[in-house]
Amino acid sequence: MRKSILALFLVAGLWGWSPILAQSQPPAAQPKQAKAAQSESTPIEAAGHQWWQHAVFYEIYPRSFADSNNDGIGDLPGITSKLDYLKQLGVDAIWITPCYPSPQVDFGYDVSDYEDIDPIYGTLSDFDKLQQDGQQRGIRIIMDLVLNHTSDQHQWFIDSRSSRNSRHRDWYIWRDGKTSPASANAASGTPKQLQPPNNWISLFGGSAWQYDPKTKQYYYHFFFPQQPDLNWRNPAVREAMFDVTRWWYDRGVSGFRLDAVGALFEDPSLHDNPILPGKNAYGDPNMENKYNFNLPEVHDVLKGLRKIADRYDAVLIGETATNNIDQLEQFYGRHNDELQMPMDFLFTDIDKLSPPAFRKQIAAVNATGGWPVYVIGNHDIERSYTRYGDGKHNDAIAKVMAGLYLTLRGTPIMYYGEEIGIEQNDPKSKAAVKDPIGKLGWPYEKGRDGERTPMQWTDKVNAGFSKIRPWLPVSDNYRTHNVASEQKDPNSILRFYEELLALRHTNQALLDGDYVALNENDPNVMSYLRRYKDEAVLVVLNMSAEPQKASFNLLPQGFSAQEAKTLLTTMPEMKDRAGVSAMTLAPFSVYIGEIAGPATHN
């Protein structure tokens, strides 16, 4: 099963390929979901926390969310038209993947102008309207900032490649090629005799160096050749990008998700990377990205970006690919002066329902002292519904995963469609592939189209996304898994998300409580307390396909109560209360309950 694209940022070749799980069966009948005991009160104000620590973030891939003008591609007015839906769901901030002008080689991650909107998505006025309408509903906008590279159609690069003396030449990474001994003897001057400056390969296949005949040098690209890497050792690049952030903050955005931060710097001496055994999906040698990823210089850039962000009370979210928890810890900054929200992909990469693996990673990220950021899906990773699903209990499993990461201490970032159970829909043939990495790596790498399919609004044609055929086919499960149908069904994944997010916004222990792991040797049932002063919430998740028993003695945690008052559960028999000393848990079930007052008061 395909893991995060990020695994490759670290060690090319450790990215595993195996067939996608068999298509899921129709969902098995689920027990009626008990209604959350929610308070109608207004959301609790941050108790010493920043706004982003209490917020629920939601990633939108704009091509695929809602198409307002029926050209088959989603757009900004489409997002604006769905703000009420997002509000009702419980979303506080939306991160929109790049919607700047772009040739769309990498669907927006190849930016040709950082201070405008691509016409396929609308105009700056459409952006302002989205921003204002969002503000009225308390929904903030987070932009995606592609720092590592631009499009080859950006004016900076067009100028850079025009001559060796151009103003922007040193904004990108240009080097002479190597001349092999054999070619040195041959007729000189033809590009064929040159070798790239070193052995680095692109994450997206082939050499990371592209020869440019006009000026007879190579430029470096960690991603596609149409995405030349900026030279972050040039102070002018730094200033230009810092200005871009000011420009958007002044327009009202509340922060940025920083793309591929680990890729910003390369070893200036261009040492060859160590080669590993085997080949990747593109036929390139596997390689450890030792000299071109996660170099220490990135931290200085992040400190600079953070200083500006702080002036605007803005948040910086990082696409932080890390090998281990120490690397992740560094992204918070020694003095908490870098990223407020580096995503923990070590958590995301646990793709089995494994309580021991989740416990270990949660403990590790908590131990960093940084505020955890949890993600279970995004536009580069196989859909969570399919990745965690077993093909039989996928709806129940989707609720278990929500029950986990939306009740942990930290900030969650949802991926659009996760809340209705959109399933993976990989292209059926090479000809159908849109993502260039799928064309290049087929059939081993099918690309990322499967996790980017249109949002499923209704069970009608094109899932209500567009009146014409969408740019990608909708997932096969849209007839059962769509917003309109799930809003009507009290047992749906969507209703579970709504109730869970409402609870998260109003329960102080879930917002601010510490995390105390319980029954840590249980291989099937994941359980913990969220404890805030005299209050505690007990979360119990049966991650197995069998019924399980669980027993809790909460005295050591300061709670003598033998019963919990139910806040939300998938088990109807526990809809009001549950005895905690002997619980019987249905397969793939969720129990969330309040534990009354501390032992000393009982």
Distance, CA of 234 to CA of 225 (rounded, Å): 21
- Give me the DSSP letters along 338-376: S-SEE--HHHHT--S--HHHHHHHHHHHHHT-SPPEEES
- Please tell me whether residue 75 binds ligand NOJ under the rule CB under 6 A: no
Tokens (6 digits) for 131: 């921003």
Q: Which is nearer to ligand NOJ, 109 or 200 (CB)?
A: 109
How is residue 139 written in tokens? 């929904």
List the interface residues with Ca ion, window 581-600 (CB under 5 A). none
Q: Tell me how many residues contact Ca ion (CB under 5 A).
A: 5
Q: How far apart are CA 528 and CA 547, in angstroms?
A: 19
CB of 71 to Ca ion, least distance (A): 4
135 Cβ contact partners less than 8 Å away, ≥ 6 residues apart: 252
**Quick check: is 319 catalytic?**
yes
* Minimum CB–partner distance for residue 319 and ligand NOJ (Å): 6
- Which residue in the set 121, 157, 223, 331 belongs to the binding site for ligand NOJ (CB under 6 A)? 223
User: Whole-number minimum distance, CB 435 to ligand NOJ, in Å?
Assistant: 9
| Contact call for residue 75 and Ca ion (CB under 5 A) | yes
Q: Which is nearer to Ca ion, 73 or 146 (CB)?
A: 73
Sheet containing strand 57-60, strands side by side: 341-342, 315-318, 255-259, 140-146, 93-96, 57-60, 411-415, 373-375
The site partner of 67 among Ca ion, ligand NOJ, none (C-beta below 5 to 8 Å per kind) is Ca ion
CB of 321 to ligand NOJ, least distance (A): 9
Task: Answer yes or no: 259 catalytic.
Answer: yes
| Residues 289-328 as x/- pattern, contact with ligand NOJ by CB under 6 A | ------------------------------x---------
Q: Residue 230: what residue type?
A: L
Q: By C-alpha distance, which of 229, 205, 259, 100 is closest to 447? A: 205
Q: Which of 106, 319, 522, 594 is catalytic?
A: 319
- Residue 146 interacts with ligand NOJ (CB under 6 A): yes or no: yes
- The distance of closest approach from Cβ of residue 437 to ligand NOJ in the complex, given in angstroms and rounded to an integer, is 8
- Within 13 Å, how many C-alpha atoms sit on residue 80's CB side? 19
Would you count residue 126 as binding Ca ion (CB under 5 A)?
A: no
CB 443 within 8 A of CB 437: no
Residue that has been written with the tokens 């994944």 in this structure: 493
The residue among 67 and 395 lying less far from Ca ion, judged by its C-beta, is 67
Q: How far is the CB of 6 from ligand NOJ (least distance, A)?
A: 8
Q: Which of 15, 61, 109, 588 binds ligand NOJ (CB under 6 A)?
A: 109
Stretch that binds Ca ion, among 62-70, 206-214, 346-354, 401-409 (CB under 5 A): 62-70
In DSSP terms, 259 is beta-bridged to 146
Residues 232-271 that bind ligand NOJ (CB under 6 A): 259-260
Among ligand NOJ, Ca ion, none, what does residue 75 contact (CB within 5–8 Å per kind)? Ca ion
Read off the tokens for 461: 């044609």
Q: What is the number of alpha carbons within 13 Å of residue 493 lying toward its C-beta?
A: 25
| Choice between 10 and 574, CB closer to ligand NOJ | 10
- Nearest residue to ligand NOJ, using CB? 109
Residue 285: strand pairing partners? 279
Using alpha carbons, select from 444, 445, 381 the residue that is nearest to residue 418: 381
CB of 230 closer than 8 Å to CB of 174 = no
For ligand NOJ, which residue of 170, 349, 380, 476 counts as binding (CB under 6 A)?
Answer: 380
What CA–CA distances, in Å, run from 369 to 320, 337, 415, 449? 17, 13, 26, 36
Q: Which of 187, 232, 238, 177 is nearest to 210 (CA)?
A: 177
Which one of ligand NOJ, Ca ion, none interacts with residue 395, CB within 5 to 8 A by kind? none
Query: Does the protein bind Ca ion through residue 71 (CB under 5 A)?
Result: yes
We find the least distance from the C-beta atom of residue 174 to ligand NOJ, in angstroms, to be: 20
CB-based closest residue to Ca ion = 75
Which of ligand NOJ, Ca ion, none does 159 bind, CB closer than 5 to 8 A by kind?
A: none
Helices (H), 490-547: 493-506, 508-512
User: Which entry of 229, 259, 284, 522 is annotated as an active-site residue?
Assistant: 259
Pairing outcome for strands 373-375 and 57-60 = unpaired
- Residue nearer to Ca ion on the CB measure, 79 or 264: 79
Residue 106 is a binding residue for ligand NOJ (CB under 6 A): yes
* Residue 19 phi, psi dihedral angles, 5° rounding: -60, 145
Near Ca ion by CB under 5 A, which window of 26-34, 75-83, 226-234, 352-360? 75-83
Tell the smallest beta-carbon distance from residue 355 to ligand NOJ (Å). 29
Q: Which is nearer to ligand NOJ, 109 or 347 (CB)?
A: 109
H or E stretch at 81: helix 76-81
Q: Which whole-number Å values give the CA distances from 457 to 47, 127, 461, 478, 598, in the listed order?
A: 36, 22, 10, 8, 45
Least distance from ligand NOJ to the Cβ atom of residue 512, Å = 31
CB of residue 434 vs ligand NOJ: minimum separation in angstroms? 13
Query: What is the spatial distance between Cα 594 and Cα 602, in angstroms, rounded to a whole number?
Result: 15
Q: Which is nearer to ligand NOJ, 262 or 421 (CB)?
A: 262
User: How many degrees, rounded to 5, is the angle at CA 287 between CA 284 and CA 289?
Assistant: 125
Handedness of CA 567, 389, 434, 156 (dihedral sign): positive
Query: Which is closer to Ca ion, CB of 69 or CB of 368?
Result: 69
**How does strand 11-12 pair with strand 285-288?**
antiparallel
**For residues 596 and 594, what is the distance between their CA atoms, to the nearest angstrom?**
6
Partner from ligand NOJ, Ca ion, none binding residue 146, C-beta < 5-8 Å depending on class: ligand NOJ
**Residue 109 binds which of ligand NOJ, Ca ion, none (CB < 5-8 A, kind-dependent):** ligand NOJ
Q: Which residues of the shown chain bind ligand NOJ in the complex (CB under 6 A)?
A: 106, 109, 146, 223, 259-260, 319, 379-380
Active-site amino acid positions = 259, 319
Q: Binding residues for Ca ion, per CB under 5 A? A: 67, 69, 71, 73, 75
